[in-house]
Amino acid sequence: MNHNVPLNISPKELNKILEDHSSEKPFIVDVREDNEIAIASFSFSVLHLPLSKYANWSAKIGELLPKDQPIVVVCHAGVRSLNFGIWLLEQGINKSVWNLVGGIDAWSTDVDQSVPRY
């Protein structure tokens, strides 16, 4: 098993965890751009770290993310978030990093159809 690759989580699995009041909630990081967030956003709290603004937040990433809470990374389709998750694991910030498979696009089709697709 490669420890430098985030684990996969489906939109339905993430939704189940978020709705379960007894389970530990993951910390969610959205790496999409501002214009993408304006089109389609999640209904729950996320930390928005647009990849295009990497220079603005990368040096303080250890301060921005929890060390003891699972992290789920999201983007539009799951590719940018996968790459960001790999980078996070390489930084050694957190050992529990998950990638939302299919991103917000899959979330909008599998969980919350009120989220616009783009």
pLDDT of residue 66: 93
Q: What is the pLDDT of residue 27?
A: 97
Per-residue pLDDT of 60-112, as tens digits, reads: 999 999 988 999 999 999 999 999 999 999 999 888 999 999 999 999 999 99
Pick the more confident residue, 83 or 3.
Answer: 83
pLDDT tens-place string over residues 47-59: 999 999 999 999 9
> In the structure, what pLDDT confidence band is assigned to residue 1 with cuts at 50, 70 and 90?
very low
Q: State the Cα–Cα distance between residues 15 and 63, nearest whole angstrom.
A: 26
- Rounded to whole angstroms, the Cα distance separating 64 from 33 reads 18
Supply the pTM of this predicted model. 0.93
Q: Residue 99 corresponds to which amino acid?
A: N
Q: Is the pLDDT of residue 115 over 80?
A: yes
Angle 41-36-114 (CA atoms, 0-180°, nearest 5)? 35
Active site residues: 75
Give me the pLDDT at residue 3, please: 66
